[in-house]
Structure 1
Amino acid sequence: MGLMYFDNNATTRIDDQVLAVMMPYLQESYGNASSVQHKLGRQANHAIENARKQIANSLNCHTKELFFCSGSTEAINTVLRAFPKAYKTKGNHIISCKTEHKAILSTCAAIHKEGTDIQLLDVDSNGSINLKELENAIREDTILVSLMAANNETGVLHPIAEIAEICTRKDVLFFCDATQWIGKIPLDLQKIPIDILCFSAHKFHGPKGAAAIFIRRKSKPIQIPALIVGGNQESGFRGGTYAVPQIAGMGESLFLSNKKQYTSELRDYFEEELQKNIPDISIHAKAVNRLPNTSNIQFLHVRGAELMTKLPDMCISSGSACVSGSRDPSHVLKAMGLSDEDAFCSLRFSFSRHNTILEIDRAVELLKNVVTQIREQSPIWQMYKEGLL
């Protein structure tokens, strides 16, 4: 058995069927989707609109509510940078959370420097927000609530139906970063009245470079001007030549994901086997609803960086891929109340439908051996075992 890939919240392997759908638009039907005057352009345009229909069917929304872009980071910048200007007559207050993805937090920090009032909600030890605190935080001048559906590091699920209900009742718009949710858990946008939502294809076995923004059609249209202007692509909402192969692949990958639902079987088996074989580990947020594929585990007195170095055939991470080179502890785990040391001793394992029980068994055995080896050589571990820590 070769390389084991357990970093699927960072990115996923493209599905064979998705790649097959993409290939014609790289080699044969390679026209510009805006060049509808000729056959190749019309073929490319048909691929774009077919993907839009596939996604709309998956999410139970209208095709005119979907706009393609390059990734969730672009989508987040498009939305958050637009609101302070578009809604300045209503207010200047945006609510988010301390455990959001860095794409949200960094964009919030940028618009805060420009004068926007940003309020970040706390979370409890399980990474959950307090809905009453959210409701109390909404003010007359609140223009947006921006909360993720599922946390990329811990897998913790926010109660998006309840959040949407609060925002509707308080007459404030709800923007949801659903990058980790879409493709893993079904979402019906007719049942959950999220106003704005974004997601990215490469998180559910699609290609990198394709994402979408959902903007609900309302009697009073939501005002989000274009971040990238150019041609009249996406009805003028997002300029630039269409990435036809990626968008075609995105539609197919979401269609397939809805047919091949995630289960928590692998994750639960992995956690049970680890607890049987390795002492003094903690599973973060085990007590609350999590993504069915995500497990964030602390190995007491074993630094995650050292553990990864000694496991070259295992692809895992110490947190979000966007900050994996950072020397700082996870901002998500810190917000949950962990010390720097405990955060540094935590690793994320995120599985996909391509992983197997055999891989899990091998991973547990390797982790057991390496953790034991590191601890036996650690004076800190010996002091802990002797009750001196």
Structure 2
Amino acid sequence: MIYLDYNATTPIDKEVADAMLPYMYDNFGNPSSSHEYGKIAKQAVEQARTEVADLLHCLKNEIIFTSGGSEANNTVIKGVAYTYRHKGDHIITSKIEHPAILNPCDYLERIGYKISYLPVKENGMVDVSALEQMITDRTILVTIMHSNNETGTIQPIKEIAQICHEHNVLFHTDASQSVGKVPIDVYDLDIDFLTIAGHKLYAPKGIGALYVNKKLSIEPLIHGAGHELGRRAGTENVIFDVALGKACQLAQKALQNDHLKEMTNYFYSNLKEIYGDKIHLNGDLDNRLPNTLNISFLGYNGNEILELLGDDIAASTGSACHSGLISISPVLKEMNVPIDTARGAVRFSLGRFTTKEDIDTVLERFRKMNNKY
């Protein structure tokens, strides 16, 4: 089996799994307990918090552990909405965001908040020139993803943050797909809030983190005892906190080599050699994640391509077929990709364990397919 769907989820790294084991069996204490079991657990959580902070180049007390990216996004959007209601009721986002952004915004709109959507250019980047015109004296938050999970296009985050702060508006970015693939310095980018999802980072599903700038305080999404410095109630998930910390530590090392970029460029250049102008790259060629290729195979739909490749190759398609009708990806639709092009989209996302042999095997399947058809 060849796995090329790392943007959907990653396998747990063996070093991450090994780091979890002591906290499943021997070191099982509650971090809030004052005895030795509790102290060991507390120390492990704080060490993990430091490891996450180191990857983002921030302070450890600016990191809140969550149950995943969805909780982190909901915490920011609803927390800002509730905390800053006295200032305004307007939030700006885009329609290429993950549902964990779009659906909380939709919820707030149903209860009276106003939501605006930045237009998206053909390369998958939001149109920053429209942002300044959209901001009003009622705008309290702008939330734009760091990179798109389908196309891999990286957004001009620093520029967006600068515009927001010039207008005294808070800025959040969902960096679930970016963290560990590209360097991120939250202070350099001048971000107020940033989301991490552990299962995109070789940690387990069910763990994430939220960076909150030390100058800010928002209403918690989950109320209860004073865990996470009062910012997220619930007994700490020591096992998964440790896992995310270890995953971030490994990611820091992985950023120092170009394995992903080299494999992805090799894959794309060979596909271009095989298909020529019969394929189209969706998204920005240069400003994208080093592991992601969203390619439309002209004259096909994505599901056909995956079927022809074989069941032993895992990738994802940007279209869906229901009762004979093919619906295209909302992301590609917002980018104004023609329907006939969008219906042939397949996303290949490579990862830490992708080998050149894997890519060569897939390329050989494509050569045979192209010769046959």
TM-score by length of 1: 0.90
Q: Is the 8 A contact 1:6 1:314 kept in 2?
A: yes
Displacement of 1:80 in angstroms is: 1.1
Q: What per-residue deviation string (whole Å, max 9, x for no partner) do you get for residues 85-137 of structure 1?
A: 22122111111012111211111111111111100111111111222211221
DSSP-derived class of the 2:131 partner = helix
Q: Is the 8 A contact 2:318 2:342 kept in 1?
A: no
Is structure 2 residue 246 aligned with structure 1 residue 244? no
Q: Is the 8 A contact 1:302 1:371 kept in 2?
A: no
DSSP-derived class of the 1:134 partner = helix
Paired position in structure 1 for 2:264 = 267
Unpaired runs of 5+ in structure 2?
none
Paired position in structure 2 for 1:256 = 250
Displacement of 1:327 in angstroms is: 6.4
Displacement of 1:319 in angstroms is: 4.1
Question: Pairwise mapping of residues 220-235 of structure 1 onto structure 2 (< 5 A)?
Answer: 221-222=216-217, 224-235=218-229
Paired position in structure 1 for 2:37 = 40
Displacement of 1:287 in angstroms is: 3.5
**Is the alpha carbon distance of 1:327 and 1:77 closer, same or farther for their aligned partners in structure 2, counting shifts above 3 Å?**
farther
Is structure 2 residue 315 aligned with structure 1 residue 316? yes
Is structure 2 residue 136 aligned with structure 1 residue 139? yes
Paired position in structure 2 for 1:74 = 71
DSSP-derived class of the 1:81 partner = helix
DSSP-derived class of the 1:119 partner = strand
Paired position in structure 2 for 1:26 = 24
Paired position in structure 1 for 2:351 = 352
Displacement of 1:288 in angstroms is: 4.1
Q: What per-residue deviation string (whole Å, max 9, x for no partner) do you get for residues 3-44 of structure 1?
A: 11111111111111111111111122122222x222222211
Distance (Å, rounded) in 1 between the aligned partners of 2:270 and 2:224: 54
Question: Pairwise mapping of residues 1-389 of structure 1 onto structure 2 (< 5 A)?
Answer: 3-34=1-32, 36-218=33-215, 221-222=216-217, 224-261=218-255, 263=258, 264-279=261-276, 280-310=278-308, 311-319=310-318, 328-370=327-369, 373=372, 376=373
Q: Root-mean-square deviation (CA), in Å?
A: 1.9
Q: Is the 8 A contact 2:274 2:370 kept in 1?
A: no
Displacement of 1:341 in angstroms is: 3.5
Percent identity between matched residues is: 39
Number of aligned positions between the proteins: 366
**Is the alpha carbon distance of 1:312 and 1:169 closer, same or farther for their aligned partners in structure 2, counting shifts above 3 Å?**
same
DSSP-derived class of the 1:338 partner = coil
Displacement of 1:296 in angstroms is: 0.2
Distance (Å, rounded) in 2 between the aligned partners of 1:236 and 1:334: 41
Distance (Å, rounded) in 1 between the aligned partners of 2:189 and 2:344: 37
Amino acid of the residue matched to residue 228 of structure 2?
A: E
TM-score by length of 2: 0.93
Distance (Å, rounded) in 2 between the aligned partners of 1:319 and 1:211: 25
Q: What per-residue deviation string (whole Å, max 9, x for no partner) do you get for residues 148-176 of structure 1?
A: 10100000000111111111211110011
**Is the alpha carbon distance of 1:53 and 1:327 closer, same or farther for their aligned partners in structure 2, counting shifts above 3 Å?**
farther
Q: What per-residue deviation string (whole Å, max 9, x for no partner) do you get for residues 158-196 of structure 1?
A: 011111111121111001111111111111122121001
